[in-house]
């Protein structure tokens, strides 16, 4: 399997325990119809070039559709690399993908996974 070409992908600034809100257009159709929402905690490893090396759900939202969509979105992203001693380095951290239905209050991210 070939890796996707991410040269023109948007770059997200990686912050530890960052929460990423999701728009209705990003929702899996079935999850919208079932009115599912919640937080998908994703543990990610980022290379020194900003590429996603690995992503896995560390604490699920309660919906496999939402968790799978969170993984797909994170795996398709490109991040700004971390730096140590002014050199880019690999890093792993957690990102929270917050699935919030339109017109709903945001669910508070619960404790770290």
What is residue 9's predicted lDDT score, i.e. its pLDDT? 47
- pLDDT tens for the chain, 113 residues: list them: 344 444 554 445 555 555 666 667 788 999 999 999 999 999 999 999 988 999 999 999 999 999 999 999 898 887 888 889 999 999 898 888 888 887 776 655 555 55
Residue 71 has a pLDDT of: 95
Side by side, the strands of the sheet bearing 38-46 are 18-22, 91-99, 38-46, 52-59
Look-up of token digits 């991040």 = 79
The Cα–Cα gap between 35 and 56 comes to: 24
The verdict on residue 106 lying in a domain is no
Domain that holds residue 93: 11-99
Query: Which CATH number belongs to the domain containing residue 22 in this structure?
Result: 3.30.1150.10
Structural domain contains residue 110: no
Q: What is the pLDDT of residue 82?
A: 85
| Residue 113 resides in a domain | no
Residue 112 lies in a domain: no
Look at residue 2 and tell me if it is in a domain: no
pLDDT of residue 2: 42
70 lies in a domain? yes
Q: How many domains does the chain have?
A: 1
């Amino acid at each position: 399997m070939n890796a996707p070409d991410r040269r023109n992908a948007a770059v997200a600034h990686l912050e530890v325990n960052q929460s990423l809100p999701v728009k209705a257009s990003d929702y899996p159709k079935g999850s919208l119809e079932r009115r599912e929402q919640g937080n998908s905690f994703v543990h990610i490893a980022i290379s020194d070039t900003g590429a996603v090396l690995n992503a896995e759900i560390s604490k699920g939202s309660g919906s496999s559709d939402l968790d799978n969509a969170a993984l797909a979105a994170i795996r398709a992203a490109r991040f700004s690399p971390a730096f140590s001693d002014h050199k880019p380095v690999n890093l792993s951290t957690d990102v929270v993908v917050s699935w919030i239905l339109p017109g709903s209050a945001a669910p508070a991210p619960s404790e770290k996974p």
